Amino acid sequence: MRLAYSDTRSSPIVVLLHGFPLSRAMWDGQVEALGAVCRVIAPDLRGHGESESPEGVYTMDAMADDVIELLDALGIDRPVVLGGLSMGGYVALSLALRHPARICGLMLMDTRAAADTPETARGREETARTVLHEGDGHSMIETMIPRLFGKATREKLPHKVGAMLAVMERTAPQGIAGALRGMAARPDRRGELGRIAIPTLVLVGEDDVVAPVDEAREIAGMIPDARLVVIPAAGHLAPFENPAATNAAILGFLAEIPARAAAAPA
């Protein structure tokens, strides 16, 4: 899989996985601020941004394996700090549970550990068919906007909403369909969260209606070494909506990661 990515090349290494149907552009506020103190790698997951959009179902495992391939291609075999937002969080959980030796810290942002209900999975399949039939994701994106952003962002930062809208409108129909079908097929991970044996930051926007605070609290309660941070004035895209509070939480978390794992020379 040919993936596009941003890479700030210093240490420790932080890998950030975007949500659906976005791109690495959602991490601009993190790449810039965290890039000053660590190496930040933010790929476009398959079907998104500038990466390839092959046919088929993009399972969370397949997207996690793409990330492993990217790390291998970059010669990174020491553990990284892995963060993912929403769909990126599903991918991060897959990677954390199936390749635990590759990460030394986990950041689950505005995401869920439960599987889709049958009704949600059916809705995703219908949406995938509509997007492929219409040849763009426009009608799906229109319905998503109010659910992605918190009230404060919608009212006070319309340029931010516009920027993500433009990113979403550029996502290939085949990429949207592949990701929808992959998310619908993802397993319930809640029973496996107790196996995560590394420091974990669970971060959520206070106004997230897609993956709400209560669900984040539940996830944090099931991971042995987890802490919960609620980001004010933010909805489902907390790192993008309130980068200052998110970056402060991430930097505080990075300071706690055992230095030997995260900051060893390449």
Q: Which residues bind ligand MLT (CB under 6 A)?
A: 19-20, 86-87, 183, 210, 236
Residue 253, amino acid: F
Q: Which residue number, 70 or 179, has a Cβ lying nearer to ligand MLT?
A: 179
**3-state class of 185 per DSSP?**
coil
Q: How far is the CB of 88 from ligand MLT (least distance, A)?
A: 7
Q: Which residue number, 19 or 49, has a Cβ lying nearer to ligand MLT?
A: 19
> d(Cα 239, Cα 24) in Å, to the nearest integer?
12
Q: How far is the CB of 77 from ligand MLT (least distance, A)?
A: 28
Q: Which residue number, 8 or 130, has a Cβ lying nearer to ligand MLT?
A: 130
Reading across the β-sheet that carries 39-43, which strands appear in turn? 5-7, 39-43, 13-17, 80-85, 103-109, 200-205, 226-231
CA proximity to 81, closest of 6, 7, 13, 11: 13
Q: How far is the CB of 18 from ligand MLT (least distance, A)?
A: 8
Q: How far is the CB of 94 from ligand MLT (least distance, A)?
A: 14
Q: Which residue number, 38 or 148, has a Cβ lying nearer to ligand MLT?
A: 148
For the chain, the first-to-last Cα distance in angstroms comes to 24
Q: Which residue number, 3 or 183, has a Cβ lying nearer to ligand MLT?
A: 183
Residue 66, amino acid: D
Distances (CA, A) of 12 to 8, 31, 83, 172, 263: 11, 13, 13, 33, 5
Q: How far is the CB of 246 from ligand MLT (least distance, A)?
A: 15
